[in-house]
């Protein structure tokens, strides 16, 4: 038996990176999986990969910057499979901006993707769970930068810190509905999106991963498949009663000083 046998799981922002790794892990553990993304090519390719491995999956095209599409991502899953048991909000915008140079437009983009989309996807998912009087689980992929972060991440940190508060608020509000909601503050992770970010905003070369790994305590960046295994555990009954927890999944220790 898998940890998520017969569970219907939606991974928003699941067509690449950490989200795709979570989708693969969920299918491996017996779940029926839906993934969302703006571009159909990577999403449909992932679904084909999962189907070839014997899994059941679907792709939902959605621009999560639009709150209505974030809600619709859930309703499409409910229409297709009759319910939603688990939701993962893994989409994230990491474009740079400081307190001094962030425009209102950039700030709004971060709020839309990093906070508003999870809010309304959670609203739709919890509504389905409550209507069915059924338990469920939600995991929000957040960031260790929510504790403060670098100066060039001001709008990103603002939105993700809001997601920390939302995670705890919603978990408290729906604990009597047996809906468990947790968050993961992930650290520096090796993904396709991070590769593009390093090259676009920091002029990094193709060997940036190796250079970064040499400066980290564990000698490597965070790996999507490792994060995915942890998320599957939080989605599953094996994580027991835990709810409202925002866990630092990182190799740097908050408050630790050298």
Among 150, 81, 143, 92, which Cα is nearest to 118's?
92
Whether residue 81 lies in the annotated active site: no
Q: How many CB atoms lie within 10 A of CB 132?
A: 14
| Secondary structure (DSSP) of 130-150 | HHTT--EEEEEE--GGGGS--
> What are the helix (H) ranges across the chain?
17-28, 40-52, 67-81, 104-111, 117-131, 154-173, 192-202, 208-214, 224-235
Could you tell me how many residues make up the chain?
A: 258
User: Of the residues 59, 120, 156, 249, which is catalytic?
Assistant: 156
Among 130, 187, 139, which Cα is nearest to 163's?
139
Residue 97 and residue 52: Cα distance in Å, rounded? 41
Q: Can you say how many angstroms the Cα of residue 30 is from the centroid of all Cα atoms in its chain?
A: 19
Residue 54 and residue 44: Cα distance in Å, rounded? 15
- Phi/psi at 189 (5° precision): -130, 140
Q: In what order do the strands lie in the sheet with 86-89?
A: 56-61, 32-37, 8-12, 86-89, 136-141, 179-186, 246-249
- Provide the annotated active-site residues: 156
């Amino acid at each position: 038996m898998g940890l998520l046998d017969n569970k219907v799981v939606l991974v928003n922002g699941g067509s690449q990176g950490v989200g795709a790794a979570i989708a693969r892990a969920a299918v491996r553990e017996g779940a029926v999986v839906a993934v969302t993304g703006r571009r159909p090519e990577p999403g449909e390719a992932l679904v084909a990969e999962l189907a070839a491995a014997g899994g059941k999956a679907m792709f939902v095209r959605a621009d999560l910057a639009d709150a209505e599409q974030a809600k619709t991502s859930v309703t499409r899953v409910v229409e297709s499979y009759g319910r939603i048991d688990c939701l993962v909000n893994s989409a994230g915008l990491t474009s740079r901006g400081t307190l001094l140079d962030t425009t209102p437009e950039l700030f709004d983009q971060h709020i839309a993707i990093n906070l508003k989309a999870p809010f309304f996807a959670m609203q739709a998912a919890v509504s389905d769970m409550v209507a069915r009087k059924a338990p469920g689980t939600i995991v929000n992929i957040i960031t260790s930068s929510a504790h403060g972060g670098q100066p060039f991440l001001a709008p990103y940190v603002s939105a993700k810190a809001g997601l920390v508060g939302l995670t705890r608020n919603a978990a408290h509000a729906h604990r009597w509905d047996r809906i468990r909601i947790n968050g993961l503050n992930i650290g520096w992770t090796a993904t396709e999106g991070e590769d593009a970010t390093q090259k676009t905003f920091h002029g990094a070369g193709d060997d940036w991963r190796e250079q970064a790994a040499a400066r980290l305590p564990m000698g490597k960046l965070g790996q999507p498949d490792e994060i995915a295994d942890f998320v599957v555990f939080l989605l599953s009954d094996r994580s027991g009663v835990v709810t409202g927890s925002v866990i630092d999944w990182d190799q740097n220790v908050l408050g630790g000083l050298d």
